[in-house]
C-alpha cells in the first residue's frame, strides 16, 4: 500500500528535462503545463504501523459520518521537506507549493489491501471568496466618499485594516496579525513602542477594553462563522474563554513582540510556513479591528449630511 500526495505548484519558470525519480524512499513525479511544473506528486510507502482511513457513524448523530484520515507517520517529515524545497526553489522563481491544498490517495497494491480500504481518495482545497449575495445601497458609497474628505487622519488606520483583512482572507495569518496590531497601536498606543508601555496604554483605553470584552464574548460564534478547523474552536475555549479583556490585550502585545523577532536558538520560535498555527489569533484580531473601524465609519456615514 502506498499513499500518494498531489500538490498544486505555482511557478512560471519553464523546466526542461522533467522526469520522475525516487529519493529517501519517496517517489517524486511531476505534471507540466506549458512547460512549467503545475503539480508535484509524491508516493509514500506505508509501513506496517501506518493506519488506513476509517469511517464511522458519529456517536451523537448517526446521520453524520466521522472520517479519520490517518496519514502515514512519515507525513510530518515529508511536509517539512516540502516546505524546505519551497525555499530552495524560490531562488529559481517558485512562488509556492500549495501544501494546504492536498489531493491524497491510498493506492492498494494487492487484492487484500483493496479489501481493507474503506476510502481511497480525499481532496483538501481552500476556495477564495467569490461575489457574495450581500447587497448595500449606493448611499453607502456616496456617504463614504463625503466622509473620507473629512477623516483624512484615518487613512493609515483604515489602510492597516484593509490590508489585514486581505491577508486574513488569503490565510496569511502572521502578516494579518502585524497589520491589525499596527492599527491598534496607531489608535491606542499614544506614541509608546516598548511592550510594557503599550500594554499600559491599551488597558487604559476603556473603549478598547469594552470592544475586547465583546470579542471574547462573541469568540465562538466568530470562529463558527469563519468556517475553519474544529480544533480552532477547541483552542479558543482552552486559551481565551477565561481571559479578561485586559489579559487578552496584553496577550496581543506579547504575540506581536514574539512575531517581531526570530532566532533558531529559541526552543519555541515561529515558522513562517506554519501560518495555520496563528489562525485563531488572526480571527480574533480581525473581529476586534472590524468593531473598531466599523464604529468610526458608521458614525460618519450615518451622520446627517449638512
Written as tens digits, the pLDDT of the chain (306 aa) is 888 999 999 998 999 999 999 998 999 999 999 999 999 999 999 888 888 777 777 777 777 766 777 778 888 899 889 989 998 898 888 998 988 888 888 888 778 777 776 556 666 655 566 556 777 788 888 888 888 878 888 899 999 999 999 899 888 999 999 999 999 999 999 999 899 999 999 999 999 999 999 999 999 999 888 777 778 989 999 999 889 999 999 999 999 998 888 877 777 888 888 888 999 999 999 999 999 999 988 888 776 655
Which of these three, 98, 123, 148, is where a domain ends? Answer: 123
Phi/psi at 45 (5° precision): -65, 140
CA 203 to chain centre: 28
Identify the pLDDT of residue 121: 62
Pair (116, 216) in one structural domain: no
Pair (150, 98) in one structural domain: no
Total structural domains within the chain: 2
Which of these three, 97, 123, 149, is where a domain ends? Answer: 123
Identify the pLDDT of residue 111: 80
Asked whether residue 130 is domain-assigned, the answer is no
Rounded Cα–Cα distance for residues 234 and 58 (Å): 18
- For the chain, the helix, strand and coil percentages under 3-state DSSP, each to the nearest 5: 50, 15, 35
Pair (30, 175) in one structural domain: no
Domain region containing 76: 2-123
- How far lies 64's CA from each of 26, 67, 74, 120, 263, in Å? 35, 10, 30, 19, 45
Asked whether residue 281 is domain-assigned, the answer is yes
Pair (59, 179) in one structural domain: no
Q: Which of 191, 187, 145 is nearest to 295 (CA)?
A: 187
Asked whether residue 294 is domain-assigned, the answer is yes
Identify the pLDDT of residue 180: 96
**Could you tell me if 37 and 142 are in contact, meaning their C-beta atoms sit under 8 angstroms apart?**
no
**Could you tell me if 168 and 288 are in contact, meaning their C-beta atoms sit under 8 angstroms apart?**
no
Identify the pLDDT of residue 65: 67
**Could you tell me if 27 and 42 are in contact, meaning their C-beta atoms sit under 8 angstroms apart?**
yes
Pair (78, 55) in one structural domain: yes
Pair (85, 147) in one structural domain: no
Pair (119, 169) in one structural domain: no
Pair (169, 29) in one structural domain: no
**Could you tell me if 106 and 3 are in contact, meaning their C-beta atoms sit under 8 angstroms apart?**
yes
- How far lies 207's CA from each of 180, 201, 246, 289, in Å? 17, 12, 12, 12
Flag whether the pTM goes above 0.85.
no
Identify the pLDDT of residue 208: 96
Pair (163, 101) in one structural domain: no
Amino acid at each position: 500500500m502506498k499513499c500518494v500526495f498531489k500538490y498544486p505548484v505555482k511557478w512560471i519558470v519553464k523546466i526542461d528535462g522533467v522526469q520522475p525519480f525516487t529519493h529517501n524512499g519517496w517517489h517524486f513525479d511531476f505534471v507540466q503545463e506549458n512547460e512549467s511544473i503545475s503539480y508535484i506528486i509524491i508516493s509514500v510507502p506505508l509501513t506496517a504501523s501506518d493506519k488506513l482511513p476509517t469511517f464511522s457513524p458519529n456517536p451523537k448523530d448517526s446521520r453524520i459520518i466521522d472520517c479519520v484520515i490517518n496519514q502515514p507517520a512519515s507525513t510530518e517529515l515529508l511536509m517539512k521537506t516540502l516546505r524546505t524545497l519551497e525555499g530552495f526553489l524560490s531562488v529559481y522563481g517558485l512562488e509556492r507549493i500549495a501544501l494546504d491544498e492536498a489531493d491524497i490517495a491510498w493506492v492498494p497494491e494487492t487484492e487484500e489491501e483493496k479489501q481493507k480500504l474503506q476510502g481511497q481518495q480525499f481532496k483538501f482545497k481552500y476556495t477564495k471568496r467569490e461575489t457574495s449575495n450581500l447587497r448595500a445601497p449606493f448611499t453607502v458609497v456616496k456617504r463614504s466618499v463625503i466622509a473620507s474628505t473629512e477623516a483624512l487622519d484615518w487613512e493609515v488606520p483604515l489602510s492597516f485594516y484593509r490590508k489585514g483583512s486581505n491577508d486574513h482572507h488569503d490565510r496569511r495569518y502572521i502578516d494579518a496579525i502585524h497589520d491589525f496590531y499596527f492599527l491598534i497601536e496607531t489608535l491606542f498606543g499614544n506614541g509608546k513602542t516598548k511592550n510594557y508601555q503599550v500594554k499600559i496604554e491599551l488597558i487604559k483605553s476603556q473603549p478598547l477594553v469594552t470592544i475586547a470584552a465583546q470579542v471574547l464574548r462573541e469568540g465562538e460564534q466568530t470562529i463558527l462563522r469563519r468556517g475553519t478547523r474544529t480544533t480552532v474552536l477547541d483552542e479558543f475555549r482552552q486559551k481565551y474563554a477565561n481571559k479578561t479583556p485586559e489579559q487578552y490585550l496584553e496577550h496581543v502585545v506579547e504575540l506581536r513582540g514574539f512575531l517581531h523577532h526570530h532566532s533558531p536558538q529559541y526552543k519555541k520560535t515561529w515558522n513562517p510556513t506554519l501560518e495555520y498555527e496563528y489562525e485563531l489569533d488572526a480571527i480574533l484580531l480581525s473581529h476586534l479591528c472590524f468593531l473598531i473601524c466599523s464604529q468610526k465609519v458608521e458614525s460618519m456615514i450615518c451622520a446627517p449630511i449638512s
